[in-house]
Amino acid sequence: MQYKQLKYEDVCLLPNYSECYYRSDCATLTNICGKEFKLPIIPANMKSVISMDTARWMSENDYFYIMHRFDNTLAETVTIMNEQSWENISVSVGVKIEDKRDILNLSKYKSRIDFLTVDIAHGHCDRMKSMLKHIKKYMPNTKVIAGNVATTTAVQDLARWGADIVKVGIGQGSPCTTKDKTGFTLPMFSCVLDCANAYASYLDEELIAPENNNLPVPIIADGGIKCNGDIAKAIVAGADLVMAGGMFAACIDSPAASSTVNDIPHKAYFGSASAENKGHSNHVEGKLTNICSNNMTYKQKLGEIKQDLQSSISYAGGEDLSAFKNVDYRRVS
């Protein structure tokens, strides 16, 4: 029997008894591979969402970020970050020969990369396997995020190949047309539920410490976030981190181009597989969408997310993000 696959909007969360006195006392801190950050949210590593200036500000203010790979080469971006001694260096890479060459050269120069995201549309593939093993060989101290995938088997395989964190979500972002062009997708709440059940016991022994052998593989839920409450829903479903694009592209200081439509400020939000990002029309699986500006800066938006997550934690009946582990949900459609 095939059950209905659920989007975030298809479920509601049920509140628990709470002893929280002030919502502002609830902690939203998250630990990623031994580093602590203020929120479990990540702006999408897309050209219309994050810039080097924004990434540096987030690094300086203890927010997690992933810089996209479309303006400069990996070597150029990492060199700048190292020369400027960024607190946290988190960048993206593809799976081409030139990407492998960059990894090799950066390792020779002993360049620091704290987090490296191998970022491709269909992450459960042979080229991903080859790239992950290449990174682990030449940059063993770098924490690797890999994606995107949408199945338990894929999460297990990517972790077995060397990924420390796996990014899940296929075709669910608002500027993505993969689901329409190819038919392949999975609504995000169900996708996260499925992928959060992948355990590290499936890993090759040489790639994981024995004490971590029975821990779930950490996952990032990427796509489908329409409002701040969806972040809580993603964590309830099992996500360790949540990636969102549109809500950050809509910020007044985002790199997305500004325009005015019917006297209302808008931002031009486009996906990584769009013609606007690729510069050509081959194998396009994304589109440009003019979205209303939220009239907030990145700093203000992150502050709003923190307050809303604190409220969510209070409804969950706890004091920090761990409270979401004990939250039940119901279908609403």
Q: What is the pLDDT of residues 226-270, one digit of tens each?
A: 999 999 999 999 999 999 999 999 999 999 989 888 889 898 886
Residues 6 or more apart in contact with residue 130 via CB below 8 angstroms: 95
CA dist 91 and 81 (Å) reads: 10
Q: Is residue 305 part of a domain?
A: no
**Domain enclosing residue 179, as ranges:** 21-245
Give the pLDDT confidence of 34-69 residue by residue, as tens digits. 999 999 999 999 999 999 999 999 999 999 999 999
Predicted structure pTM score: 0.91
Task: Please identify every residue annotated as catalytic.
Answer: 176
Q: Find out whether 247 and 294 touch, Cβ atoms under 8 Å.
A: yes
- Token output for 206: 């040489």
Q: Is residue 212 part of a domain?
A: yes
Q: What is the CB-side half-sphere exposure of residue 150 using CA atoms within 13 A?
A: 18
pLDDT for residue 3: 67
CA dist 252 and 263 (Å) reads: 15
Q: Find out whether 66 and 117 touch, Cβ atoms under 8 Å.
A: yes
Q: Is residue 288 part of a domain?
A: no
Q: Is residue 98 part of a domain?
A: yes
Strands 329-331, 11-13: pairing kind: antiparallel
- Token output for 333: 């459609």
Q: Is residue 51 part of a domain?
A: yes
Q: Where are the alpha helices (DSSP H) in 250-297?
A: 275-278
Residues 6 or more apart in contact with residue 97 via CB below 8 angstroms: none
Assign residue 143 the CATH number of its domain.
Answer: 3.20.20.70
Q: Is residue 257 part of a domain?
A: no
Q: Find out whether 221 and 169 touch, Cβ atoms under 8 Å.
A: yes
Average pLDDT over residues 304-332: 97
Give the pLDDT confidence of 142-187 residue by residue, as tens digits. 999 998 999 999 999 999 999 999 999 997 766 676 777 788 888 9
Q: Is residue 285 part of a domain?
A: no
Q: How many domains does the chain have?
A: 1
Q: Residue 312: what residue type?
A: S
Q: Is residue 274 part of a domain?
A: no
| Helix pair angle (298-316, 229-237), 10° resolution | 50
